[in-house]
Copies of this chain bind each other. A is one copy, B any other.
Amino acid sequence: MKEGPDIARVAALIGDPARANILTALMSGKALTATELAQEAGVTLQTASSHLARLDQGGLLRPRKQGRHKYFSLASDEVAHVLEALMGLAAGSGHLRTRTGPKDLALRRARVCYNHLAGEMGIQLYQSLMARGFIAQYSDTLELQPSGAAFVRAFGIDIDTLSAARAPLCRDCLDWSARQSHLAGSLGRAFLSRFEQLGWARRDGKTRIIRFSAAGDQAFATTFDVPDPGSELPHE
C-alpha cells in the first residue's frame, strides 16, 4: 500500500508557485539572499521567509548566514536534478533570470569586504588555496592545513600571532558579485594587508575598490595560480 518514501511531501514543497520560483531562481547555482528571492518569487519578504524556512526544513535548501544577510542555495545536485526533470515534464525550456551584481567592473574585479579581498581576485585566491590543499573544509568550518601554514609563513604572514587571536582564522565568505566563496577571517585580512605591504595593491580612498599595480597583478596571478580542474568528472 504505502511503500517507499513520501514523495508527496517533497512534491508539495515544490508545488507552490512562489516556492517553485525560488527554486528555479536558485537553479543558476548562485546563492541568493532572502530579499532577492522574495523579489524573484513575487512575494513580500515575510512570505518568502516563511517559504524559505519550509524549503530548508524539507531539506531542499542550504542556508548560510553571513552578517545580516542570509544566502540560500540548493541543498544538492539531486535537488537540481529533480527540478530539471520536472521542467522537462512541464515541457518548456528553463528560462533563467540572471541578476547582475555591481555594475562597476573594478568592483567586480577586486574590492574590500570587511577588510579582506573580495571579487574575482578574492575568489581566485580562495580557489587556489583550496585546490592546492592549503585549506580544507570540514563540515562547516574552514581549516588551514599544515602545508597551508607553511605556504602562508613563506609568504610573509606571521601566522602564530593570528592563531592567538580569538577570531576564527579562516572563514569563507560568499561573494556578492560572483556568488562564490572567497577567503575571509583573520587570515583573509592578513593576506590583504600583506598585499598592500608588498606594494601589490592599494585601497581606493573613497570606494571599496582595490587597485592592483601591473606588477602586483602579475605577481598575484603567478602566486595564486588555479590549477586546471579538468580531471574532475562532471557528475551527470
Binding site for B on A (CB under 8 A): 1-17, 19-21, 23-24, 40, 42, 58-60, 76, 78-79, 81-83, 85-98, 103-104, 107, 174, 176, 179, 207-208
Contact = CB atoms under 8 A, between A and B. Distances in A.
A89 B82 contact: yes
Given A3-B107, A8-B17, 9 more contacts: A1-B21, A2-B21, A3-B98, A4-B98, A5-B93, A8-B14, A12-B12, A59-B91, A78-B88
Contacts of A89: 5, 7, 10, 59-60, 78-79, 82
Given A81-B174, A89-B79, A7 B12 contact: no
Contacts of A12: 11-12, 15-16
A201 to B, nearest CB: 19
A20 B11 contact: yes
Contacts of A24: 3-4, 7
List the 5 closest pairs (A to B, CB-CB), nearest first. A5-B92, A12-B15, A5-B90, A59-B93, A8-B20
A107 B1 CA distance: 13
Contacts of A95: 3-6, 9
A15 B11 contact: yes
Contact of A19 (B8, B98, B103): B8
